[in-house]
Amino acid sequence: MAEEDDAALFAQFAGDVRPIGQPPRVQQRASTKPRPTPVARPAVVVAMEERVDTALASPSPWTLVRAGVSRERLRRLGKARADHLLDLHGKSRDQALRLLQQVITQARREGGRVVEVVHGRGLHSSDGVPVLKQAVYHWLGHGPCSGWVLAVIPKPESGGGACLILLRREKAAARD
């Protein structure tokens, strides 16, 4: 009975109440100042040629380096032991890129920093162009995981058939 009394009392006090209409929309005035033009800055320096030069004094044409990565860090990368290894011999371009994404994602998830990719030198390509090598470097510089890549260098002593990838550190909170 108390609930019925409460409902009746509420109805008595709220009898003439109507919902408030939507407030009028405020239109923003157009700014009189022109917006500054964004400056395009390349996040990754990409250079590709057939020649492979592993000397760090003159950066290799097959090198991707994000701004802020020192030459000393690149030198240490050349001597680093890879956390993950991916051999792409015998794979098609699409298979290779799919595997590359899986390995980089796994390396990031496990806290790995260095990935070695064996892409070959393209000696067995029909036109002599290193298809996988070009695809891997382009994907690392412009693909979905390019934000995770700090640097890519040809693996020393590989003759240009493999590269080492330095991945960005993952923040501890993102891994948990």
pTM of the predicted structure, to 2 decimals: 0.62
**Two tokens, residue 102:** 């899986």
pLDDT at 29: 62
Q: Which domains does the chain have, with CATH numbers?
A: 60-169 (3.30.1370.110)
Q: 């090198």: which residue's tokens?
A: 63
Mean pLDDT of the chain: 77
| Nearest-angstrom CA–CA distance, 122 and 75 | 26
pLDDT tens digits, residue range 3-19?
Answer: 778 888 877 877 777 76
**Two tokens, residue 3:** 């609930």
Alpha-helical runs (H) found in the chain: 2-13, 71-79, 93-109, 131-142, 172-175
pLDDT tens digits, residue range 21-70?
Answer: 766 666 666 666 676 676 655 444 444 433 333 332 335 668 888 888 88
pLDDT at 1: 64
| Nearest-angstrom CA–CA distance, 104 and 86 | 10
Q: Which long-range contacts (CB under 8 A, 24 or more apart) does 152-155 make?
A: 152/63, 152/64, 152/65, 153/54, 153/60, 153/62, 153/63, 153/74, 153/77, 153/78, 154/52, 154/54, 154/60, 154/62, 154/63, 155/78, 155/116
According to DSSP, the β-strands at 114-118 and 84-87 are: parallel
Which comes out higher in pLDDT, residue 120 or 28? 120
Closest residue by Cα to residue 166 from 87, 70, 95, 102? 70
| Nearest-angstrom CA–CA distance, 99 and 101 | 5
Q: What does the pLDDT average to over 130-152? A: 87
| Nearest-angstrom CA–CA distance, 46 and 137 | 8
Closest residue by Cα to residue 56 from 167, 156, 166, 165? 156
Q: Which of 93-107, 117-131, 161-175 has the highest mean pLDDT?
A: 93-107
